Amino acid sequence: MKRLICVLCLIVCFYSQAQSSEAKDRTAILDLIETQRQAWNNNDIETFMASYWKSDSLKFYGSNGVTHGWENTLARYKKSYPTKAHKGHLDFKINAITKINDGAYCVMGEYHLTRDIGNANGIFMIILKKIDGAWKIIADTSC
């Protein structure tokens, strides 16, 4: 009986630790998304892009097809949103955060740009991976 109680205690302990770890991951990911939102609204594209994996393997999939690499994604953002008027005010609605495996999550949501030149709204799905202890967007699909 003592063995059974010990095994059950260990299971509860491991389960609680796993849930705690997942809650911390979700909080860190939401903080990353909020940092992006604030940077965008401050017209600070470099800080916005700091959340992306600075690699040639980064993928961005939008209405113009796939963009490969961090530098090309930055250039795409600068071309598509050249001024504060084009950037407008960004808000996100997060619809789902799903753990893929340890160190990787999928986030699905909506973006809403309020702009004098016309609002822009759409959906996105980002894949985040923990790289060198920090969460980074490794793939982004926005339309």
DSSP the chain: -HHHHHHHHHHHHHHHHHHHHHHHHHHHHHHHHHHHHHHHHTT-HHHHHTTB--STT-EEEETTEEEESHHHHHHHHHHHS-SHHHH-EEEEEEEEEEEEETTEEEEEEEEEEE-TT--EEEEEEEEEEEETTEEEEEEEEE-
Q: What is the pLDDT of residues 57-75, one digit of tens each?
A: 999 999 989 999 999 999 9
pLDDT at 45 over 90: yes
pTM of the entire structure? 0.85
Checking if the pLDDT of 18 tops 90, the result is no
Q: Is position 38 within any domain?
A: yes
5 falls within a domain: no
- Structure-model confidence comparison of residues 16 and 118, the more confident one: 118
- Residue range of the domain that includes 128: 16-142
Give a yes or no: residue 77 inside a domain.
Answer: yes
pLDDT exceeds cutoff 60 at 8: no
Count of domains observed in the chain: 1
- Asked if 51 contacts 130 with a C-beta cutoff of 8 angstroms, the reply is no
Q: Per-residue pLDDT for 17 more than 70?
A: no
**pLDDT over threshold 70, residue 141:** yes
CATH of the domain at 121: 3.10.450.50
Identify whether 9 is part of a domain.
Answer: no
Residue 10 lies in a domain: no
- Residue 69, Cβ density class (10 Å: 0-12 exposed, 13-18 middle, ≥19 buried): middle
pLDDT tens digit string along 60-113? 999 989 999 999 999 999 999 999 999 999 999 999 999 999 999 999 999 999
Contact (Cβ atoms closer than 8 angstroms) between residue 23 and residue 16: no
What is the rounded distance in angstroms from the CA atom of residue 43 to the CA atom of residue 58? 22
**Structural domain contains residue 42:** yes
Asked if the model's pLDDT at residue 14 lies above 60, the reply is: no
